[in-house]
C-alpha cells in the first residue's frame, strides 16, 4: 500500500485554498423531486453527476450520504462509486457519511470497504460511530493511518436524541462526548499541520466552552443552513477551535439546483461567509 499524504494535511491545504466548506450529496426523494428528477437510479445518477460537476472545482470536501445510494441496491452503489471517483479526480476530498460502527472483523471489513486504496469506494475519510466503545474503532484507525485517510467520530451531534448518550456522565465525571474528544486528541498528538482524526460536533449546540474541542484535528459541523445555524454562529460555538471547523451544508446548497451556476454561487457564498466568521477569531 502506498499511503497518501495524511488526511489532516490534505484537508488543511484544501480548506486554506478552497475555503472551509463541506457540501453533502444527499439525494433523498423530496430533493430529487424538487429538481424535477424521478426517485430512481437514473435520477440518482443525474443528481450526483450535476452536483459533482458543478462544485468539484470549488468545494474542499464532498460528503455523500451512503444510505441514499444504498437504498437502490447494487445500481445505487455503482452511482456512488462513480461520484466518489469523479469528485476525487477533480481535486475534492470525499468524506463518506456512512457512520459505521461494529467490533473486530466486522469493523475491519467496514474499514476495508471505505479506507483501503484498492476498494472502489475508497474515500479520503469516513464517519464512524464509537458507541460500542472507542476501542472498537481500532481497525478503522489503523487502516486510516496506513492509507493516509481520516475518520470523523460522532462526539456531540446536532440531533436532540444524541444527548442521552453523548451527555451521559461516566463514573470519572466526564461525559461520553468529552471522552471521545479526549481519545481523538490522543490520536492527533504531535501531528502537523493538523491530525487526521476528527469529531462530529453540531453547529446548532450553542456554547460548548465546557468541552475541550482542541483535539488538533478537524471538527465536522453539521447544522449550517436548513437546520438553523449560520456561519456567524461558529466562533461562539467553537471558540479558538473554529479554525479547524469544517461546516457541512447540504440542503442549503443543494436546494439551489439543478442549475449548475446557482449551485456554484450558493456554495461560494457559504464559503465566503465561513471565511469571514473565522477571521474574526
pLDDT band at 278 (very low <50, low <70, confident <90, very high): confident
Is residue 1 one of the residues assigned to a domain? no
Give Cβ neighbours of residue 7 (< 8 Å, ≥ 6 apart).
Answer: 93, 124, 125, 144, 148, 149, 150, 196
Question: Over the chain, what is the mean pLDDT?
Answer: 95
172: helix, strand or coil? coil
- Annotated catalytic residue 63: no
Q: Which domain holds residue 143?
A: 7-279
| pLDDT one-digit tens code per residue, 185-225 | 999 999 999 999 999 999 999 999 999 999 999 999 998 87
Taking alpha carbons only, the member of 44, 13, 20, 41 closest to residue 31 is 44
* Whole-structure pTM value: 0.96
Inter-CA distances, 116 with 71, 126, 254, Å:
23, 11, 29
Give me the number of domains the chain comprises: 1
DSSP code, position 28: -
Taking alpha carbons only, the member of 149, 145, 102 closest to residue 123 is 149
Taking alpha carbons only, the member of 73, 76, 74 closest to residue 25 is 76
Q: Report pLDDT for 225.
A: 74
Taking alpha carbons only, the member of 162, 212, 221 closest to residue 184 is 212
Residue 150 grid cell: 481520516
How many CB atoms within 10 Å of residue 107? 21
Ordered alpha helix ranges (H), 96-242: 104-115, 138-147, 163-166, 176-188, 234-238
CATH number at residue 230: 3.20.20.70
Is residue 205 one of the residues assigned to a domain? yes
Give the residue-averaged pLDDT of 39-46: 98
Is residue 155 one of the residues assigned to a domain? yes
Q: Which of 28, 99, 174, 264 is catalytic?
A: 99
Cα–Cα distance measured from residue 254 to residue 23, given in angstroms and rounded to the nearest whole number = 8
Is residue 2 one of the residues assigned to a domain? no
If 0-12 CB within 10 Å is exposed, 13-18 middle and 19+ buried, where does residue 88 land? middle
Taking alpha carbons only, the member of 36, 153, 138, 25 closest to residue 82 is 25
pLDDT greater than 60 at residue 1: no
Is residue 168 one of the residues assigned to a domain? yes
What residues pair up with 245 in beta bridges, in sequence order?
219
Cα–Cα distance measured from residue 147 to residue 5, given in angstroms and rounded to the nearest whole number = 9
Cα–Cα distance measured from residue 196 to residue 193, given in angstroms and rounded to the nearest whole number = 10
Is residue 161 one of the residues assigned to a domain? yes
Amino acid at each position: 500500500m502506498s499511503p497518501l499524504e495524511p488526511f489532516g494535511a490534505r484537508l488543511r491545504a484544501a480548506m486554506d485554498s478552497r475555503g472551509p466548506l463541506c457540501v453533502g450529496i444527499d439525494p433523498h426523494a423530496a430533493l430529487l423531486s424538487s429538481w424535477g428528477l424521478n426517485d430512481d437510479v437514473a435520477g440518482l445518477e443525474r443528481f450526483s453527476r450535476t452536483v459533482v460537476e458543478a462544485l468539484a472545482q470549488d468545494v474542499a470536501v464532498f460528503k455523500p450520504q451512503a444510505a441514499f445510494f444504498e437504498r437502490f441496491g447494487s445500481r445505487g452503489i455503482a452511482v456512488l462509486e462513480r461520484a466518489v471517483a469523479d469528485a476525487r479526480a477533480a481535486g475534492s476530498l470525499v468524506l463518506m457519511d456512512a457512520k459505521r460502527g461494529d467490533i473486530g472483523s466486522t469493523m475491519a471489513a467496514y474499514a476495508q470497504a471505505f479506507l483501503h486504496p484498492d476498494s472502489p469506494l475508497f474515500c479520503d475519510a469516513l464517519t464512524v460511530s464509537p458507541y460500542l466503545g472507542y476501542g472498537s474503532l481500532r481497525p478503522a484507525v489503523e487502516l486510516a493511518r496506513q492509507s493516509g485517510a481520516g475518520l470523523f467520530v460522532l462526539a456531540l451531534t446536532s440531533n436532540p436524541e444524541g444527548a442521552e448518550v453523548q451527555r451521559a456522565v461516566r463514573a470519572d465525571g466526564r461525559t461520553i462526548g468529552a471522552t471521545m474528544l479526549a481519545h481523538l486528541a490522543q490520536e492527533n498528538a504531535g501531528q502537523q499541520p493538523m491530525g487526521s482524526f476528527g469529531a462530529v460536533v453540531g453547529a446548532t449546540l450553542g456554547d460548548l466552552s465546557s468541552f475541550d474541542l482542541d483535539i488538533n484535528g478537524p471538527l465536522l459541523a453539521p447544522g449550517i443552513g436548513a437546520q438553523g445555524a449560520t456561519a456567524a454562529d461558529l466562533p461562539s460555538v467553537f471558540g479558538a477551535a473554529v479554525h479547524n471547523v469544517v461546516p457541512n451544508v447540504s440542503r442549503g446548497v443543494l436546494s439551489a439546483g439543478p442549475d449548475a451556476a446557482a449551485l456554484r454561487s450558493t456554495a461560494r457564498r457559504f464559503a465566503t461567509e465561513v471565511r469571514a466568521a473565522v477571521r474574526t477569531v
